[in-house]
Amino acid sequence: MQHLKGRKALISGGASGIGRAIAARLIQEEVATALADLHLPGEAPPATKTFRCDVTSGPDVDTLFAGVQASIGAPDILVCSAGRGIHEKLTEGDPAKWQQAIEVNLLGALRMIRAFVPGMVAEGQGDVVLISSVAAGQAYTYDGVYGASKAALEVIAETLRLEVLPLVRVTVIAPGVTDTPFFEHTISGSHTAAAIGFGAISPEVVADAVLYALRQPKGVSVNRITVRPTAQPF
CB distance 33 to 50 below 8 Å: no
| E-only strand ranges, the chain | 8-12, 32-37, 48-52, 77-80, 126-131, 168-175, 224-227
Q: What is the mean pLDDT of residues 28-44?
A: 87
| pLDDT score of 230 more than 80 | yes
Cα separation, 129 vs 147, in Å, equals: 18
Residue 13 has pLDDT above 80, yes or no: yes
Bigger pLDDT: 194 vs 162: 162
Provide the CATH number for the domain formed by 8-227 in this structure.
3.40.50.720
Point out the catalytic residue in the list 140, 142, 146, 212: 146
Interval 63-72: pLDDT, tens: 999 999 999 9
Residue of 163, 196, 83 lying closest to 131 (CA atoms): 83
> Where along the chain do its domains lie?
8-227
Whole-number mean pLDDT of the chain? Answer: 94
Q: Is the pLDDT of residue 44 over 70?
A: no
Is-contact 134 176, C-beta < 8 A? yes
Which strand ranges, in their side-by-side order, compose the sheet holding 168-175? 48-52, 32-37, 8-12, 77-80, 126-131, 168-175, 224-227
* DSSP-assigned letter for residue 36: E
Percent of the chain with pLDDT strictly greater than 70 = 97
For residues 209-225, average pLDDT: 97
Question: pLDDT class for 193, splitting at 50, 70, 90?
Answer: confident
Q: What is the pLDDT of residues 156-165, one digit of tens each?
A: 999 999 999 9
The number of C-alpha atoms within 13 Å of 151 and in the hemisphere containing its C-beta is 11
State residue 183's pLDDT score.
85
pTM metric for this prediction: 0.95
- Decide if 140 is catalytic: no
| Amino acid in the structure at residue 186 | T
Instruction: Please tell me the distance from the alpha carbon of residue 233 to that of residue 114, in angstroms, as a whole number.
Output: 35
pLDDT 10s digits, 111-137: 999 999 999 999 999 999 999 999 999
pLDDT given at position 39: 87
